[in-house]
Amino acid sequence: MTNAVHDAERIRERKDAERTRRRKDTERTREQQDTEQIWEPSSADPPVLVLGATGRTGRRVVARLRDAGRTVRAASRSAETPFDWTDRATWAAAVDGMRALYLVAPADPEPIADFVAEARAAGVRRFVVLSGRGVHRYGMALEPSMAEAERAVREADVDWTLIRPNSFSQNFADDLYAAPLRAGLLTLPVGAVAEPFVDVEDVAEVTVALLTEEGHTHRTYELSGPRALTFAEVAAEISAVSGRPTRFEAVTAEQYVADLIAGGMPEKDARSLACVHVFLSEGHNSEPTTDVRYILGREPRDFSEYVKSVAAAGIWA
Ligand SMILES: NC(=O)c1ccc[n+]([C@@H]2O[C@H](COP(=O)([O-])OP(=O)(O)OC[C@H]3O[C@@H](n4cnc5c(N)ncnc54)[C@H](OP(=O)(O)O)[C@@H]3O)[C@@H](O)[C@H]2O)c1
């Protein structure tokens, strides 16, 4: 499908979704509106609760909202507002007075629906949920928390927007990939698949737009970088820019699991990580999308820019 046809279809789908949303809004009875604390689009600064606020996306979302002068509550177990998915006593103070929320799902999906209900009862109306590209294919089997977070907001009477990013460019600066790259060889069970890695800065900027602008209710966005690279191309680019020779070699899932276990990872985690990479290897997520451009009005950041900035910081030296 060409980009033009793809864009036209998306615009038509979004217009349909917008019409449905407007109809639902008008169907809401006046009695409900009088008794509920509702999302007020007219409010210039509806307070935003950011979960996972010390994480890769959350801390960037917090920083960008604060730079824009917005009222933000940064929450996680170690953030300024204590919030623990496993300790329900921390939920009420975190959601109190908030109107919009960035949801980074916990490892265990069990508390998600209850939390969404509690946040809604406290007056939160807008939910932007971090999910992952392909979650509709593997869902509960591989990433149960992201699938459950999507389900929970869809089934609650709230304004939700889902983001499903590709693999983050920043994964290559985390030790799972960075340590092997520094040692000269990254091995993964991904074959020769290409992936349009997305920069977490773009994910954060999109998230801020979805939390603060109108027109994204009940929409799902797939966020990718502008071009797909194989892992061998990534290693070659990192070698060239960092000056440290490194390469990529595809391995079987069983070999990968054995290597991770030998490195000290519990078998369950190793198997689940292998499954994620095997899913990637099937190429369902390889096509770049136009959603970052649609939301931000500019192209997503290219992988080369990311590599240059990280190499300058000495991550792979
Ligand atoms: N990596 C990728 O390529 C990729 C791509 C698409 C989607 N994703 C999805 O992105 C999500 C992770 O987001 P991220 O990368 O922004 O976060 P992250 O860097 O993995 O950090 C996790 C955040 O969650 C908080 N947290 C952990 N346990 C918690 C608990 N019990 N209660 C409350 N907060 C808790 C942590 O803070 P504290 O330790 O202070 O609590 C931290 O702020 C995952 O669902 C992943 O599947 C990742």
Q: What digits encode the pLDDT tens for the residues 242-272? A: 999 999 999 999 999 999 999 999 999 999 9
* 17 has pLDDT over 60: no
CATH code of the domain containing 138: 3.40.50.720
Domains: count for the chain? 2
On whether both 110 and 219 belong to a single domain, the answer is yes
Same domain, 256 and 161: no
Instruction: Tell me the CATH number at 233.
Output: 3.90.25.10
Of all protein residues, the one whose alpha carbon is nearest to atom 11 of ligand 1 is 104
C-alpha atoms less than 13 angstroms from C-alpha of 93 in its C-beta half-sphere: 12
Average pLDDT over residues 208-214: 97
Percent of the chain with pLDDT over 70: 86
21 pLDDT more than 60: no
For residues 21-41, give the mean pLDDT: 42
pLDDT band at 16 (very low <50, low <70, confident <90, very high): low
Nearest CA to ligand 1 atom 23: 52
Assess whether 150 and 231 both reside in one domain.
no
The pLDDT value recorded for residue 292 is 98
Atom from ligand 1 closest to the CA of residue 57: 16
168 lines ligand 1 (CB under 6 A): yes
d(CA 11, CA 108): 35
Residue 4: what pLDDT?
Answer: 45
**Strand locations in 51-158 (E):** 72-76, 81-82, 100-104, 126-130
Q: How confident is the model at residue 14 (pLDDT cuts 50, 70, 90)?
A: low
pLDDT (mean) for 267-286: 95
Are both 31 and 122 inside the same structural domain?
A: yes
Residue 146 Cβ contacting ligand 1 at under 6 Å = yes
Q: 53 and 60 in contact (C-beta within 8 Å)?
A: no
**What is the 240 CA–ligand 1 centroid distance (Å)?**
31
Determine the atom of ligand 1 nearest the C-alpha atom of 133: 6
What's the mean per-residue pLDDT of the chain? Answer: 89
- The pairing of beta strand 229-230 with beta strand 194-195: antiparallel
195 and 208 belong to one structural domain: no
The two three-digit tokens of residue 75, written as one number = 């929450």
Q: What is the pLDDT of residues 289-307, one digit of tens each?
A: 999 999 999 999 999 999 9
CB-ligand 1 contact for 130 (6 Å cutoff): yes
Whole-angstrom Cα Rg for the chain: 20
Instruction: State yes or no: pLDDT of 71 exceeds 60.
Output: yes
Residue 39 in this model has a pLDDT that exceeds 70: no
Helices and strands in the chain, H and E counts: 14, 11
| Helix (H/G/I), strand (E/B), else coil: 104 | strand
35 has pLDDT over 50: no
Q: d(Cα 46, Cα 49) in Å, to the nearest integer?
A: 10
What single-letter amino acid sits at 42?
S
Average pLDDT on 14-25 reads: 51
- At 280 the pLDDT is 95
Separation of alpha carbons 80 and 14, rounded Å: 37
> For position 38, what pLDDT does the model report?
45
pTM, to two decimals: 0.88
Average pLDDT for 6-35: 47
Residue 22 binned pLDDT confidence (cut-offs 50, 70, 90): very low
Q: What is the dihedral of CA 140, 145, 149, 151, to 10 degrees?
A: 10
The pair of structure tokens assigned to 256 is 């990968």
In terms of domains, do 67 and 178 share one? no
pLDDT given at position 42: 47
Does 256 lie in the same domain as 205? no
Residues 133 and 229 in one domain: no
Same domain (yes/no): 229, 91: no
User: Is residue 1 over pLDDT 70?
Assistant: no
pLDDT for the residue numbered 140: 72
Averaged pLDDT for residues 70-96: 98
Average pLDDT over residues 173-194: 95
Range of the domain at 32: 3-165+200-223+287-300
pLDDT at residue number 33: 37
If asked whether residues 217 and 231 sit together in one domain, one would say no
Q: Are residues 29 and 154 in the same domain?
A: yes
The backbone region for 139, taken as left when phi is positive above 0, alpha when psi lies in -120 to 50, beta otherwise, is left
Is 221:161 a contact under the CB 8 Å cutoff?
Answer: yes
Instruction: Say yes or no: 173 and 295 in one domain.
Output: no
